[in-house]
A and B are shown apart, each in its own frame.
Chain A
Amino acid sequence: MVYSKVNKPIIRVDAYEKVIGKAKFAADLYFPNMLYGKVLRSKYPYARIVKIDIEKALTCPGVEAVITADDIPNNEFGVIVQNQQVLARQQVLYIGDGIAVVAAETKEAAAKALGLIKVEYEELPGIFDPEEAAKKGAPLVHSELENNQVVHHRLRKGDTERGFAQAEVILEREYTTQFVEHAYIEPESLVAVPYEHNTLVTIYGSIQNPFSCRNAVASVLKVPLNKVRIIQNHMGGSFGGKDEVMSSMAARAALLALKTNRPVKMVNTRDESILESYKRHPYKMKYKVGATKEGKLAAMEIKCLADSGAYACQTPFVTWRSVVQATGPYELPNVKTDTYGYYTNNVYTGAMRGYGSPQIIFAQESLMDELAEELKMTPMELRLKNIYHNNSITASGQKLDNHQVSLEEVINKAVEASNYKDKYREYSKPQSGDKKRGIGMAISFRGCSLGAEATDAAGAIVAIQRDGSILISCGLAENGEGLKTVFTQIAAEELGVDIRRINYMEVDTSVSPESGATVASRSTILGGNAVKNAAHQLKETLAEIVAAEFKIKTNNLDFKNENIYEKNKNQKIISFDEAITLANQQGIFLSVYGWYKAPDISWDEENGQGRPYFTYVYGCQIAEVEVDTATGQIEVLKMTAAHDVGRAINPACLKGQIYGGVMMGLGYGIMEEVETANGYIKNTNFDEYLIPTVKDMPEIIPVIVENPDPHGPYGAKSIGEPTLELGAPAIANAVAQATGKRIRHLPLNLERVLLGHSLSKGGTKK
């Protein structure tokens, strides 16, 4: 199939305004009479609030309002479990908990007022280790609960005891991962405007999921959804990070705006952002694997403990993705997996690009390399003996029979593009000098979209205007990944028109169809289908009009190049513009809602069996590194990333996703870590929280593999998260080959590489 608009690397539709600086971000917005909001945060990770005295702050010049938990109609919100405090009422549960918010004429006055609020605390001994939290009789983080467990997911397949009994080699290993920060370039920011356009409050902001934010604000204010309007601004990055933390900020700003009857702007500093915002879950993982001497996997037993921090947030679903994917893409007759989330008084954890996969893939792909070494096989051989193919049965008992299972293909393409085999042989030989090279691979399968987490559907409006120009609005939100461009291409392809006809509108919750959250790498596959469905309906409407007018059968019409053709004669009948005029004259309505509901899935929570996802994507990344074995420095020389995306709607945007995801994976692998000590965060700015710079960027070879999926629009599936989840284990495997030493804890920083363990400065408070 040859396409004219999709499968093409067109320029992003929002590139120009961003490049010339015209694009407005939330911090750029100013409204007449606007106030500035600022949050007073906790002094301790865990404490009882004895007393809050706001009297002095209220008399501070320029201060218009001070709000505490007592002023909030419904103080607890959450997407899954409603236990996140908008402001701490009786207890602060982590160091980023807000206690009061101030609205003042200037930022300075707001900051000054914060200093005048007196909070009397009674510090409590907190829990900062999920293993401690899991113990019987452990002190409770949420006193109303029976224990600290957020969730426990189980998966049982076959009989692991019998499997291990049959195994000739058994390995047991423990792996850990760290807290990491999303590090979006734009810190959280928004403006709440009261009583605008017939709503109670309108919020303009850097909001990843406008509908989740609306739900939270409406529930906090105890008002109907149609009284709250969220309009998304351009986003300076999100990566899963601008969900609950933005809902909380939006609720606080809305309360202040309604109390003062004035617009309220809130913009976090970087320190405030790192202190308050949720992180990627640290995991402690125990893996046990059994295999035959020939390298056929017989059984796997997995136990993962996730640190949920103070709130449930996304932990129930993050650990669910982990339970489904924990074995990796390997055929296993016997599997027993348990994933747990526990409350602690650490910073809370939530969605971050990968969502429960980067942790388990680090463990399972490290484990596969360790097993290969034990079996005296190459990592590639061992993988090829066990990977999923068409009709393989997953650990969840799902038969992969409705799409091309392309693991072998992505491995082979990555191997070829990276010259893996030669390099693996070369680096296996003894190397002289301190600097030693290694090459490592990691592979994954990943369920597309939400799976059994939640209802999975999306909608879009495509509206052809009187002059033939087109508006698109979808409930899924541009987060910087290129969604607007991809959806525009899909509509243009379907209608056979030029990209320039189309104007893509920002998400406005009072207009756009609610489509769930922009998460789980689901936009292209879900939203793309909704846009395609809307455009297709319009095409059929137009086809009927044209067919009637020219006495041609509708199925003999072809929409392309801004015209409508008679297919069998390949002859132009009428231009698109003329067809629109015709429809207008006939009083035909040319705006439609498109809708797409994902195919049915199933899940048995008791045994972790069913069809958790309706389709999967497959990827393989190969890292080549040079390790300075005398100083512990790692240089990543080259990353090769092969991903089956079904169909690349925009190969340029797709490569952008690969470059970005690889770099985030590299940071996760070798340098990033939010360091905590007894609940305090030690590195709250980018001078100490290190992310890779452009100088750390290796050569990256993207390999796009296309096996169109029957469910995807033009066959397209997912790319956002798969790109991130493979970098750290590929690098860890390469480092192990180079040094001969296995590091089972992320990140692979200087100390771990040189000494085998990390060092801590000690001390707690900033």
Chain B
Amino acid sequence: MISYEFLTTQKIEEALNYLDKFSKVHILAGGTDLLVNLYKESPRLPDFDYLLDISNIPELKIINSINKFIEIGPLVTHSRLINEPLIKNNFPVLMEAAYTIGSTQIRNRGTIGGNIVNASPAADLLPPLIALRAEVELTSRKGKRVLPLEEFLAGPYKTKLQANELLTKIKIPLLSDNYYTDFQKIGRRKALSIARLSLALVTKIDEEGIFQDTRVVPGSATPYPQSLPVTEEAINGISIFQINLEEIGKITSNEMVSITGERWSTPYKKPTIAVLIKRALERIIKEAKTNE
């Protein structure tokens, strides 16, 4: 059995003080990953002496629209992402991804901050958040720093969060009207399903129908979610009327394998990631054509 001291607070300031004062503190938000790992005594758990429960800090539950950014508190649950008009209207891709997480019960407890900090290769929110160029605000008693999410992730189940830091905000820049997004996921069943493979696509289509600023981020495809620059570059500059989806699919497959090497799951994932990028592009192209 893992033993620890339990700390709780309703104030960010106090949480930061705890992080400063004590060492080996693990943070509890929604608990959907942590409690399972505690029960299992998972080797993935770091060694810790204190469990700091931040779930009662109201400031961390706010969703706001400020200066061309949507700011999301890390304690915002997946269910709120699905139902919040600010998210639904601005980042449907995030809403779609949140909807595929676990079950109703898990979505009611699990948080966006937890999904980020746990940094699972299969985390459903990471691909859309990276594709949306989300930034994370990290606060300690010494001050704040802001990092692009993609930079914040350091490896499978690893981030650059310092021991004295708390994730206090997720900031997503608003997209202009000519941006399109899509999320695809394959699971072994329809709910309570860890992504076998997922993919988020965010891209701009200009007045001429040319792809620009494309971001492609798969989940469960690479050791931890990261964008696929080769694929992105291959799509940028091409017209929606001329794009060769087969070819893009091949590029995406090859790029994934160039990152992961041949693994036991490659025979399945190599063809299916091509399918996901094709489907995402097809859906976006169709939407763009209807909007014309």
Contact = CB atoms under 8 A, between A and B. Distances in A.
B188 A690 contact: yes
Given A108-B1, A630-B275, A631-B272, A755 B267 contact: yes
Interface residues of B, number: 20
B192 A434 contact: no
Contacts of A695: 189-191
Contacts of A396: none
A582 interface: no
Contacts of B267: 751, 755, 759
B102 to A, nearest CB: 10
A652 B189 CA distance: 28
A754 B272 contact: yes
Interface string A640-682: 0000000000000000000000000000000100000000000
Interface in A577-616: none
A434 B190 contact: no
B268 interface: yes
A111 B1 contact: yes
Nearest to B186: A631
A168 to B, nearest CB: 39
A33 interface: no
Contacts of A762: 264
A760 interface: yes
B76 to A, nearest CB: 24
A759 B265 contact: yes
A761 interface: yes
B85 interface: no
B56 interface: no
A633 B271 CA distance: 14
Nearest to A667: B189
Interface string A442-473: 00000000000000000000000000000000
Contacts of B194: 687
Contacts of B276: 631
B268 A633 contact: no
B251 to A, nearest CB: 17
Contact of A693 (B189, B265, B268, B271): B189
B189 A692 contact: yes
A750 B103 contact: no
Interface in A688-718: 690, 692-696
Contacts of A632: 268, 272
A319 interface: no
Contacts of B265: 759, 761
Secondary structure call for the B interface: loop
Nearest to A691: B189
B196 interface: yes
Contacts of B271: 630, 754
A693 B268 CA distance: 24
A696 B191 contact: yes
Contacts of B36: 687
Contact of B268 (A692, A694, A755): A755
B16 to A, nearest CB: 33
A750 B272 CA distance: 10
Nearest to A269: B39
B189 A751 contact: no
Contacts of A759: 264-265, 267-268
A364 interface: no
B272 A630 contact: yes
A761 B191 contact: no
A75 interface: no
A357 interface: no
A750 B1 contact: no
Contacts of A108: 1
Contacts of B186: 631, 633, 750
Interface in B255-281: 264-265, 267-268, 271-272, 275-276
Contacts of A696: 189-191
Contacts of A737: none
A381 to B, nearest CB: 35
Given A108-B1, A693-B103, A750 B268 contact: yes
A749 interface: yes
A434 B278 CA distance: 12
A185 to B, nearest CB: 14
A615 B77 CA distance: 57
A693 B191 contact: yes
Interface string B180-210: 0000001011111110100000000000000
Contacts of B188: 671, 690, 749-750
Nearest to A635: B190
B275 A434 contact: yes
B282 to A, nearest CB: 11
Nearest to B189: A696
Q: Pick from A696, A760, A762 the residue with the most CB of B within 10 Å.
A: A696
Given A693-B190, A693-B191, A696-B191, A754 B268 contact: yes
Interface in A109-166: 111
B283 to A, nearest CB: 13
Nearest to A749: B188
Contacts of B191: 693-696
A565 B87 CA distance: 72
Nearest to A108: B1
A573 B17 CA distance: 86
Contact of A750 (B190, B192, B196): B196
A673 to B, nearest CB: 11
Contacts of B192: 693
Nearest to A761: B264
A694 B105 CA distance: 14
Q: Pick from B103, B188, B191, B265 the residue with the most CB of A within 10 Å.
A: B188
A631 to B, nearest CB: 5
Nearest to B271: A754
Nearest to A688: B194
Nearest to B197: A631
A631 B268 CA distance: 8
A682 B282 CA distance: 38
B230 to A, nearest CB: 22
Contact of A631 (B1, B189, B190, B275): B275
Contacts of A434: 275
A632 B265 CA distance: 14
Interface string A82-126: 000000000000000000000000001001000000000000000
Contacts of A687: 36, 194
A554 B24 CA distance: 85
Nearest to A751: B268
Contacts of B272: 630-632, 754
A754 B186 CA distance: 13
A751 B270 CA distance: 12
B231 to A, nearest CB: 18
Contact of A760 (B193, B196, B264): B264
Nearest to B192: A693
A159 B285 CA distance: 65
A671 B188 CA distance: 7
Contacts of A760: 264
Contacts of B268: 632, 750-751, 754-755, 759
A692 B188 CA distance: 9
A632 B196 CA distance: 11
A696 B267 CA distance: 26
A434 B188 CA distance: 18
Contacts of A761: 264-265
Contacts of B196: 750
A23 B268 CA distance: 47
Interface string A349-367: 0000000000000000000
The 7 tightest CB contacts between A and B, nearest first, are: A695-B190, A695-B191, A630-B275, A693-B191, A696-B190, A751-B268, A631-B186
9 contacts: A630-B271, A631-B272, A687-B194, A693-B190, A695-B189, A750-B268, A759-B264, A759-B265, A759-B268
Given A687-B194, A696-B190, 6 more contacts: A108-B1, A630-B275, A631-B275, A687-B36, A692-B189, A693-B189
Interface of A: 108, 111, 434, 630-633, 671, 687, 690, 692-696, 749-751, 754-755, 759-762
